[in-house]
Structure 1
Amino acid sequence: MSNTHVSVLELDLNALKHNISYFKKKLNHNTKLLGVVKAYSYGHDAVYIAKSLESQGVDYLAVAYTDEGIILRKNGIKIPILVLHPQIPNFQKLISYNLEPNLYSKKTLTAFIGICKEKKLLGYPVHLKFNTGLNRLGFSLEEVNEILPLIKNTSIQITSLFSHLAASEDANENEFSRQQIEKFKQVSSQITKTLPYTPMLHMANTSGVINFPEAHFDMVRIGIGMYGFGNDEKETANLKNVGSLKTTISQIHTIKKGDSLGYNRAYTAKKDTKTATLPIGHADGICRNLGNGVGSVKINNKICPILGNVCMDMIMVDITTVDCKEGDQAIVFDNQQMLNELALKSDTISYELLTSISQRIRRIIVE
């Protein structure tokens, strides 16, 4: 990165390729792989990531909402895209962009069939989700007999049946996860017996792929694992970090002992202190509770604590012992350990920190 006063999220697409290859090696050769690119690809960049996944032969993509899928289609993505939480008012747009809805209730199922009939569509690909214990979205197992007549409607084709594990990363909940898997097997068997074709089955997320090979079925869904994070330190060590958040020093100050710094004078220097102002703040995803020495950045391989309160667009860090100048690079995180430490200090998880990175932070590809 050139020494300009910008904040960037560097995307290492070779790391992404490594991670996809790592998970593919855990699958049977005929098990498909779905890459989850919702929420701007977990804060990375949905278009860059989706294009890379498509070029790697990933079979499916998944987004949360219709508009996310439309952006991918407008940027030339051709492979199938599953919309995990489609809204009925967007069904028309969803069809226009050849997106595939997750239908999770009688209301969504009947509404989508109705639109397909209006448009005189036959065999439009849809996916049915079943609630086996997460209790978020999905048909209850008791509803199966009620929806059987509906899913035989020729306006739609059931491309897949799926469910979602609630605690696949938690060994203490293995018995609950196995109960979910068994419930899913039962409901999928009940449905496939009534159809003249066989839908795909999928249930395993990143942790499910690692911990429950019996739940790989026909396809698996990889989300956080694509970006370099497994369900424990051992698995994470096998993966490579995709996104690195970096910024530069805008200005350097020396404040005297007793001088205050930042909003509400939250920091008072106990000795003469050299500080660097960085152009990144809580509007960019730097949690406000990382201020006042809780969080830090790395400048020229030295840890620099954040001083005072995190501002909307800036933070100030202690560089008293660092040999640096204005324009030098500051690293917020460039590996999984740094990000996980920031998440721990923020009392959150890596998912939230990644997805909080503002889209005003420029994404650039490094390979």
Structure 2
Amino acid sequence: MPKARETVLEIDLKALKHNYEYIKSKLKSNTKILAVVKAFAYGSDANEIANYLQNLEVDYFAVAYLSEGVALRDAGIKTPILVLHPQAINFKTLIERCLEPSLYNAKILNEFITIASKEKQSNYPVHIKFNTGLNRLGFGENEVDYVVSKASETSAIKVKSIFSHLAASEDLTEKAFTERQIKTFKSISEKFSNAIGYKPILHLANTSGILNYPEAHLDMVRTGIGLYGYGNSEKENEHLIPIATLKSVISQIHIIKKGETVGYNRAYKSDGLIKTATIPIGHADGIGRQYGNKKGFVTINGKKALIIGNVCMDMIMIDITDIDCHEGDEVIIFGNHPNASQFARTANTISYEIITAISQRVKRLIIDN
């Protein structure tokens, strides 16, 4: 890959294909795949990722909010798109753009039926979310009859799928809890299908559910973080390739004498002669202040350089005392080595947070080999 000459997020579509095919290899041939491309496709580039996966014939996409779905439609995405957390104010636009809502409580269900009816819709596809333990969104198990009755008394909607979300599928110490969720969802699904008179698509497994609980694959699986190269365990990470590499360059090198300080609030005070480099990336780009003061690090020429002092809005300073490097040299924040999980761990957080935090002002460079 080319050497960086500015701060850039390289997105490797070959790695995306590898991850997609690895996940697909875990499934039965008739199990559908829903690709989660919310939050700019986990901080990468939703339009590029969705178009690439559409060409690979992925079955469904999911986004969090209406605006994300509209952007995909504007980019030419024809594949069905599930909006996971829609708001009633957006329902008319949602219908106009052929997006499919997750309906998760009585208020949202009734408001969508009302608007779909006003818009003279017939059998508009909706997805019913049930809460089986995450306690975030979803109807309760005791509300199956209510949902069926509301869906059955109108021709404006038709239930395309019912689904739930596993709370701890990556944590095998919580296996008993996850297995209860799976059992509960299967019970809900059977009751729902029998009552409504047809079988909607059933989906429950997220990336860790796909990898750890084959019995939860059902009719369709939802994969987000796995597509982007992370399997929520060191074992699975060996089979996946991070699609995004965050790179920058050395803008300036300083010699810092003993007793001198670096950065805002004089947070770093040198106890000897050191050499520092300033890098054009900061907390406005997604590298939060929690990575400063020798917690986070970057890599230059294969060597680790600690971030010193407070992270600035647009810059970080690093200790390069023992590294042979020059102004203009490439700097790796995360990619394959270290990956985003390893980088995030230095600040006691997770890969999801760091990759989705990368600012849209950082240039995206698509690599398609």
TM-score band by shorter chain is over 0.9
The answer for the alignment partner of 1:285 in structure 2 is 286
Query: Measured at CA, do residues 197 and 74 of structure 1 come closer, stay the same or move farther in structure 2, by a change above 3 Å?
Result: same
Structure 1 match to 2:253? 252
Corresponding residue of 1:314: 315
**How far, CA to CA, are the matches of 1:50 and 1:306 in structure 2?**
35
Equivalent residue for 2:83?
83
TM-score, normalised relative to structure 1: 0.97
Partner AA of 1:288 in structure 2: R
Please give the secondary structure, in 2, of the residue aligned with 1:220.
strand
- TM-score (normalizing by structure 2): 0.96
Q: Which runs of 5+ in 2 are unaligned?
A: none
Distance (Å, rounded) in 2 between the aligned partners of 1:3 and 1:163: 43
8 Å contact kept, 2:65–2:83: yes
Structure 1 pair 3/211, CA: closer, same or farther in 2 (3 Å)? closer
Matches within 5 A, 1:294-333: 294-333=295-334
Residue of structure 2 equivalent to 1:26: 26
**1:137 matched residue in structure 2:** 137
Question: How many residues in Structure 1 have an aligned counterpart in Structure 2?
Answer: 367
Displacement after TM superposition at 1:53 (Å)? 1.1
2:60 maps to a residue whose letter is Y
| Structure 1 position 258, deviation (Å) | 2.0
- Structure 1 position 191, deviation (Å): 1.4
Aligned pair 1:35/2:21, yes or no? no
In structure 2, what residue type is equivalent to 1:88?
A
Matching of residues 209-228 of structure 1 within 5 Å: 209-228=210-229
Measured against aligned partners, the alpha-carbon deviations of 1:159-215 in whole angstroms (never above 9, x if no partner) come to 101011111111121111111111111111111113343210000000111111111
> What is the CA–CA distance in structure 2 between the aligned matches of 1:177 and 1:60, rounded to whole Å?
24
Change (3 A) 1:30 1:243: same
Mapped partners of 1:66, 1:294: distance in 2: 37
User: Equivalences for 1:262-281 in 2 at 5 Å?
Assistant: 262-281=263-282
- Asked whether the 8 Å contact 1:35–1:60 carries over to 2, the reply is yes
- How far 1:52 moved relative to its partner? 1.3
Aligned-residue offset at 1:220: 0.1
Task: Give 1:320's aligned amino acid.
Answer: T
CA distance in 2, matches of 1:242, 1:108: 36
Partner of 1:334: 335
Q: Is the 8 A contact 2:169 2:175 kept in 1?
A: yes
Where in structure 2 are the equivalents of 1:356-367 lying within 5 Å? 356-367=357-368
Per the alignment, residue 174 of structure 2 pairs with 173
Q: Tell me how far apart the structure 2 counterparts of residues 122 and 263 of structure 1 sit (CA, whole Å).
A: 60
CA distance, structure 2, for counterparts of residue 63 and residue 73 of structure 1: 12
Partner of 1:202: 203
**Retained in 2: the 8 A contact 1:292–1:306?**
yes
Contact 2:4-2:247 at 8 Å conserved across structures = no
Counterpart position of 1:114? 114
- What residue is the counterpart of 1:100 in the other structure? 100
**Which residue identity lines up with residue 38 of structure 2 in the other structure?**
K
CA contact (8 A) 2:299 2:333 kept: yes
Sequence identity, in percent? 55
Note if contact 2:261-2:267 (Cα within 8 Å) is conserved in structure 1: yes
For residues 283 and 25 of structure 1, the distance between their equivalents in structure 2, rounded to whole angstroms, comes to: 39
Deviation at 1:5, TM superposition (A): 4.8
In 2, are the aligned partners of 1:85 and 1:102 still within 8 Å (CA)? yes
Amino acid at match of 1:260: T
1:239 aligns with 2:230: no
Q: Is the 8 A contact 2:102 2:129 kept in 1?
A: yes
Aligned CA distance change for structure 1 residues 29 and 136 (closer, same or farther; 3 Å): same
> What letter matches 1:317 in structure 2?
I
Aligned 8 A contact 1:307 1:316 in 2: yes
Q: Distance in 2 between matches of 1:52 and 1:109?
A: 33
Amino acid at match of 1:331: I
Q: C-alpha deviations, 1:106-139, integer Å up to 9, x for none?
A: 1111111111111111011110000111111111
Local SS of the residue matching 1:194: helix
Which segment drifts farther, 253-262 or 312-321? 253-262
CA spacing shift, 1:177–1:3, aligned 2, 3 Å: closer
- Equivalent residue number for residue 11 of structure 1: 11
1:241, CA displacement in angstroms?
1.0
Instruction: Give the conservation status (yes or no) of the 8 Å contact 1:229–1:336.
Output: no
Tell me the CA shift for residue 337 of structure 1: 4.3
Does the 8 A contact of 1:5 with 1:279 survive in 2?
no
Letter in 2 for 1:201: L
Contact 1:5 1:250 in 2 (8 A): no
> 2:145 touches 2:195 (CA, 8 Å); kept in 1?
no
| Residues 1:41 and 1:261: Cα distance change in structure 2 (over 3 Å) | same
CA distance in 2, matches of 1:161, 1:218: 10
Q: Which amino acid aligns with 2:166?
A: L
Letter in 2 for 1:11: I
Letter of the 1:41 counterpart: A
Gap regions ≥5 residues in structure 1? none
Change in CA separation of 1:4 and 1:161 when aligned onto 2, cut-off 3 Å: closer
Give the aligned residue type for 1:319.
Answer: I
| AA matched with 1:175 | A
Alignment-mate amino acid for residue 307 of structure 1: I
Q: Deviations over 1:136-159 (max 9, x none)?
A: 111101111222221112111111
